[in-house]
Amino acid sequence: MDQTATVNKRVGDADSLHGQTLRYSIPHLPEDIWCHIHSLMPMRDAARAACLSRAFLRSWRCHPNLTLNFATLCPKACSKELCSNIDRILRNHSGIGLKTLELNLGSVESTFPYVDSWLQFAVTPGIEVLVLILYKKYNFPCSVLSDGVRNSIRDLQLDTCVFRPTSELGPFRRLTSMDLSLVRITGDELECLLSKSLALEQLVLYDCKEITSLKIPCVLQQLSCLTVISCCRLQAIECKSSKSLDY
């Protein structure tokens, strides 16, 4: 055997050994364990892993945390590309097991016509955290707050929205934190919402210009922190709760 053939054989043996190492270095674990490992990754890393691993590709369809913004998806892209990427991610997601949805479109002056359909798909029973940040005023559809959603959601953050909760909207049984920034909501609408959020512990209001008076219902016995900033038309805060608040 000549020298060239010997070298080629050694390279082939090394490749074969390397292939075995790659094949057996990844343990054979139950799918639920792979899903749990995948869920602990930051979203960008989770998406990359799904491109490289069949196990992670399956778990990507039920990844529990989706953070959809320019930073995680396409920091150098235009709003059209961002919209396309978000649409593709949500279409590839099963909608099952989603716990956290952060949809941050507030960093660019643009409209996103598919927000309604994105929320209708992603905001489902079992979700615990919903963060929606937009650049232009958006009419938040209360229809996405179904009975199942209201039973599971713990943290609601809305930014630059029109939010008109009605008296027909049922109770939020697990909601502990609510942050409304640049949200168009009246004092009466907010009081109605608060009276149905008995577990609420923290309330933040920033630049909510339609609120002229704020009434904290007596049923909010868990509320311990109230933050009000730049609500320029707010004239009075009436607290009927027996628990002392940190302002």
The CATH classification number of 63-239 equals: 3.80.10.10
Per-residue pLDDT of 177-222, as tens digits, reads 999 999 999 999 999 999 999 999 999 999 999 999 999 998 999 9
| E-only strand ranges, the chain | 65-68, 100-104, 129-139, 155-162, 177-184, 202-206, 213-216, 225-229, 236-239
**CB distance 8 to 37 below 8 Å:** no
Residue ranges of alpha helices (H) inside 123-217 are 147-152, 187-194
What are the tens digits of pLDDT across the range 116-142? 999 999 999 999 999 999 988 899 999
- Cβ neighbours around 28 below 10 Å, total: 6
Say how many residues make up the chain. Answer: 247
Rounded distance between C-alpha atoms, residue 104 and residue 78, angstroms: 14
C-alpha distances out from residue 245 to 100, 108, 185, 195, 220, Å:
28, 36, 22, 17, 11
Percent of the chain scoring above 70 in pLDDT: 71
